[in-house]
Amino acid sequence: MILVTGGAGFIGANFVLDWLAQSDGPVLNLDKLTYAGNLENLASLQGDPRHVFVQGDIADGALLQGLLTEHRPRAVVNFAAESHVDRSIHGPEDFIQTNIVGTFRLLEAVRAHWGGLDEAGKAAFRFLHVSTDEVYGSLAATDSAFTEEHRYEPNSPYSASKAASDHLVRAYHHTYGLPVLTTNCSNNYGPYHFPEKLIPLMIVNALAGKPLPVYGDGMQIRDWLYVKDHCSAIRRVLAAGQLGEVYNVGGWNEKPNIEIVQTLCALLDELRPRADGKSYREQISYVKDRPGHDRRYAIDARKLEKELGWKPAETFETGIRKTVQWYLDHPDWVAHVQSGSYRDWVSKQYR
Ligand code: NAD
Ligand code: TYD
């Protein structure tokens, strides 16, 4: 069994679904079910004995100790986090609590558990921490992409809290010998992405006839990776990564935000044309910029490619088309998220 934290969120849910589709190894899924946690993402696993879901907080040391003792996972994959930059600007506290204190408590519980294993169990155990390229700060237009050696320069409360968690993970390896691995990935997109982030927000707003809010001049650059490629990278690092090492994950897909929005409009014009025959581009609306907005992120993923032989399966063109099609095919999922009724799922399913 592996313990996945945050497995009801966007990337965690994709990871759990892919993991169980590809192996018989059971998953213990610990998720607090904040606004971003949605058990409907995992509805296809209902009745599958390989998936054990526990609602709980990674900062709850007693709960963690009990789960580790009972289930004895051979690995922990830590996705649990507060993840939205805009929310971190409005209210940083939850980010400090989950991303820093929560990671610390998880590390403490895992350290105690790992310390009690026999030598073979200790050698086989892994703690994989899922992090972000945002810890490296912002690049100028001509700078080379972030390597694993790039200095940490986080600029938002979100990225600062993720940077702190990365440092704690590193310290637990150097100080206590905990067998850790860290991945720093670029922006993900794909199914089950909560529609407050750029790509799903633009799709659902376009279909609802609402404005498409582009921050500032829309020329900020992000490096996009299809979520299932991120999941395959994590599986690869978990299987073959060198202990204590950091692996940057990305697909060499740098795009300015406005180009992303225009691509989404063009795909929607093709797949679900507006009733009035006009383009969804008409809905683009430039709005006030995000404070402290990082200008450019770009990942140099050569270490992961060369050392572990990982490569993304999707190009941006194939991944973004699949993503738009997924949102068109899942209006109920979108409606439940927008109405908030996805939260009723927990009480219905786990009464
Ligand atoms: P998300 O916000 O969609 O999901 C986070 C999940 O964690 C939710 O299910 C939430 O309920 C759960 N959670 C939050 N606080 C918790 C707590 N205290 N205890 C237990 N569970 C808790 O986020 P995501 O986009 O899926 O990101 C997952 C991880 O990947 C995060 O660590 C994030 O920093 C990292 N990451 C995200 C991206 C991206 O583009 N989304 C890119 C690189 C790295
Ligand atoms: P986001 O999806 O929030 O990811 P991150 O800030 O972690 O990179 O935003 C991606 C980019 O899109 C970022 O440069 C901010 C921009 N953006 C908009 O222009 N409009 C929006 O409504 C949102 C949510 C984001």
CA distances from 243 to 35, 116, 168, 169 (A): 34, 19, 15, 12
For the segment 209-226, what is each residue's pLDDT rounded down to a tens digit? 999 999 999 999 999 999
Residue nearest to atom 4 of ligand 2 (CA): 197
Q: Quick check: CB of 201 below 6 Å from ligand 2? A: yes
For the segment 23-80, what is each residue's pLDDT rounded down to a tens digit? 889 999 999 999 999 999 999 999 999 999 999 999 999 999 999 999 999 999 999 9
Residue nearest to atom 23 of ligand 2 (CA): 198
Please classify residue 118 by burial: count the beta carbons closer than 10 Å to its beta carbon, then call 0-12 exposed, 13-18 middle and 19+ buried: exposed
pTM, full prediction = 0.97
Q: How far is the CA of 197 from the centre of ligand 2 (A)?
A: 6
Q: Is the pLDDT of residue 271 over 70?
A: yes
What local confidence, expressed as pLDDT, does residue 347 receive?
A: 63
Q: How far is the CA of 144 from the centre of ligand 1 (A)?
A: 27
pLDDT band at 255 (very low <50, low <70, confident <90, very high): very high
What local confidence, expressed as pLDDT, does residue 125 receive?
A: 98
- Give me the CATH code for the 2-189+226-250+294-313 domain, please: 3.40.50.720
Starting from the CA of residue 196, give the closest ligand: 2
Known catalytic membership, residue 57: no
Q: How far is the CA of 281 from the centre of ligand 1 (A)?
A: 31
Mean pLDDT of 190-199: 97
For the segment 103-135, what is each residue's pLDDT rounded down to a tens digit? 999 999 999 999 999 999 999 999 999 999 999
What local confidence, expressed as pLDDT, does residue 342 receive?
A: 74
Amino acid found at 174: H
pLDDT band at 349 (very low <50, low <70, confident <90, very high): low
Mean pLDDT of 145-162: 98
For the segment 284-323, what is each residue's pLDDT rounded down to a tens digit? 999 999 999 999 999 999 999 999 999 999 999 999 999 9
